[in-house]
Amino acid sequence: MSDGYTILLTNDDGIDAPGIATLREELTSLGDVTVVAPDGNQSGVGRTRNHTAVVRDHPWGYALAGTPADCVAYGLRGLDADFDVVVAGVNDGPNAGNYVVGRSGTVGAGIEAAFLGTPALAISAYHSTDFFLSPPEEYDFGRPARVAVGLVERALSAGVYDDVDLLNVNAPVDSPHPPVMLTEPHHDYGQQVEPVEDDELGPDERRVELNDRTWPDAVGWENPFPLAETHRDRYPVGSDRRAMVDAAVSVSPLTVSHGVADSARLADVVETFEVE
């Protein structure tokens, strides 16, 4: 489509994942789609970058042995093409809550795009009772993909990206007509640290297991939706997790400028601090 948008598509589940295949097909209605995606699963790597990467030709574009951020960097600076927007997804499972958003490879691709001056949208899919889509081949990513296409088209035409760097979107696969909510990542996080027996370690060594809790303080935190009525009040209206408990599409507008906080207390500390 010569008069449409030029779109760079990536993900973190790998170029062979069903979510990116569905999203690519839907995005072709908006313009020309070039895929640069990891050659294997890169979930949870955030915006990790590598100094070198092997790139292979692929029928959709390119498979890259690296992270989603590597893929975006290669696509935006290594190809002889100008892209109007970067789209990442459809991710298998939600990316909601400020901690999870910060470590997501799907969102990390969008952050890399924003730093390189290109608008981005990260789209993740969830099931309102199953939570994660496992195995993903048994789920239809069509609705989240169509949500992404509609939001990309409207956001670009409305000038949304004059104010916003990245849209982080979570969409249900099983809600026929989900409401769409403007949200922000919920601010909570929990961590469990447990000792792990390992007879091969030396006397001055020990192994520990570090488990972050995606839904802190919730019984059945790994799959909270069957207890939606119990959890609903825990997450305030306007948060991405509340939207998911309500089987809605969550749209969080993000910036990546790492803006400086205005702290009078810090200003006083700096003003009175003397280096000896």
The answer to the question of residue 225 being in a domain is no
The answer to the question of residue 101 being in a domain is yes
pLDDT tens, residue by residue, 234-255:
899 999 999 999 999 999 999 9
180, pLDDT greater than 50: yes
The answer to the question of residue 203 being in a domain is no
Span 159-183, average pLDDT: 95
Span 142-157, average pLDDT: 97
- Mean pLDDT of all residues in the chain? 92
pLDDT tens, residue by residue, 122-141:
999 999 988 888 899 999 99
Cis geometry, peptide bond prior to residue 38 (ω within 30 degrees of 0): no
Span 3-21, average pLDDT: 96
Range of the structural domain that residue 60 is part of: 5-183+233-254
The answer to the question of residue 267 being in a domain is no
Of 65-69, 205-209, 253-257, the range with the lowest mean pLDDT is: 253-257
The answer to the question of residue 38 being in a domain is yes
Are 214 and 100 in contact by the 8 Å Cβ rule? The answer is yes
160, pLDDT greater than 90: yes
The answer to the question of residue 219 being in a domain is no
| Confidence tier at 2 by pLDDT (50, 70, 90) | very low
13 is in an annotated binding site: yes
Long-range pairs of 211-219 with CB within 8 A, sequence gap ≥ 24: 212/99, 213/189, 214/97, 214/100, 215/97, 215/241, 216/188, 216/189, 216/190, 217/190
pTM, full prediction: 0.92
12 is in an annotated binding site: yes
The answer to the question of residue 169 being in a domain is yes
Furthest C-alpha separation in the chain: 67
91 is in an annotated binding site: yes
Write down the pLDDT at residue 1.
41
Span 80-85, average pLDDT: 97
The domain total for the chain is: 1
Span 114-122, average pLDDT: 97
The answer to the question of residue 270 being in a domain is no
CATH number at residue 177: 3.40.1210.10
**In which residue are the tokens 């006397």 written?**
203
